[in-house]
Amino acid sequence: SQKIEQNSEALNIQEGKTATLTCNYTNYSPAYLQWYRQDPGRGPVFLLLIRENEKEKRKERLKVTFDTTLKQSLFHITASQPADSATYLCALPASGGSYIPTFGRGTSLIVHP
Amino acid sequence: GAGVSQSPSNKVTEKGKDVELRCDPISGHTALYWYRQSLGQGLEFLIYFQGNSAPDKSGLPSDRFSAERTGGSVSTLTIQRTQQEDSAVYLCASSFTNSPNQPQHFGDGTRLSIL
């Protein structure tokens, strides 16, 4: 069955470093992948979408890559700041042409000053 | 302006009671989704509405759960005879269309606690 895996362990990094989060998936060939940010007590907020024919996408300090051979997306935050601390979720469209996305459990990022 | 609005933000109730959770989507958004998020868990899909089409109820965990969307706008999720395992954050999201690459806009959820 379709599965999305994100590292359940929190990622702790020092301010100014680049944070890299991973989203792996199996038994699936998505046409696109989305990344969301979720702060405690808040709903997820959309950040970026990358399509299968795009290897890389950037938005300010954010960069997302999508490797359909490895079935993996990497989410990078450069020059990280304590305000970047949050949980980051990846989402893929469900299989079979469904309009309902499936979300990973998310990875918590903690940026230390 | 507005974003997606959910009410109440918190709800505490006794086991066996019925609860109603409300979602006001962004004006003009035709697609509306309900999810459930338990502590440390991912988003669990519950139900999806698109325009005037019949909703996709495939994620509802039991027949105690139901939802309506009136006039293509406001939606209400109802849980009857609540159980302790229903305790979770219930999130609503809307998107402009049901195109699968449309971003979802989430409310901040209703935190439901069943005593």
**How close does chain B come to A87, measured CA to CA in Å?**
11
Q: What is the largest CA-CA distance in chain B?
A: 40
Nearest to A43 among B41, B98, B109 (CB): B109
Picking from B91, B96, B20, the residue whose alpha carbon sits closest to that of residue B59 is B91
CB nearest to B41's CB, from A41, A51, A105: A105
For residues A102 and A2, is the Cβ–Cβ distance under 8 A?
yes
Nearest Cα neighbor of A29 from A67, A65, A55, A56 is: A67
Would you call A82 helix, strand, or coil by DSSP? helix
Q: For residue A70, what pLDDT is reported?
A: 93
**Cβ contacts of B42 on chain A, cutoff 8 Å:** 4, 89, 103-106
User: What is the reported pLDDT for B1?
Assistant: 58
Considering only CB atoms, B48 lies closest to which of A42, A99, A105, namely A99
DSSP state of B56: B
Amino acid B102: pLDDT: 85
- Contact predicate B112/B103, CB 8 Å: no
pLDDT in tens, A31-57: 889 999 999 999 999 999 999 899 899
pLDDT in tens, B9-60: 999 999 999 999 999 999 999 999 999 999 878 899 999 999 888 899 999 9
pLDDT tens-digit series, residues B70-113? 887 999 999 999 999 999 999 999 999 877 678 999 999 999 99
For the record, the structure tokens of B80 come out as 């009857």
pLDDT of residue A28: 82
Q: What integer pLDDT is reported at residue B62 of this predicted model?
A: 95
Q: Using the beta-carbon criterion (under 8 Å), do B31 and A99 form an inter-chain contact?
A: yes
Nearest to A43 among B59, B91, B98 (CB): B91
pLDDT at B33: 95
Answer whether B107 touches A (CB < 8 Å): yes
Nearest to B88 by CA among B33, B30, B5, B19: B19
The pLDDT, as a whole number, for residue B81 is: 98
Report the candidate in B32, B16, B23, B29 with the shortest Cα–Cα distance to residue A99: B32
Segments of chain A scoring below 50 in pLDDT = none
Backbone angles phi, psi at A92, to 5 degrees: -125, 150
| Cα B72 from Cα B51, distance rounded (Å) | 6
- Taking an 8 Å cut-off on Cβ atoms, the answer to whether B106 and A44 are in contact is yes
Give B62's DSSP letter. S
Distinct helix (H) and strand (E) counts, chain B:
0, 10
Taking one residue from A and the other from B, the number of pairs with CB-CB distance under 8 angstroms is 56
Nearest CA-CA distance, residue B56 and chain A, Å: 9
Among B residues 55-84, those touching chain A with beta carbons less than 8 Å apart: 56, 59
The reported pLDDT for the residue numbered A96 is 65
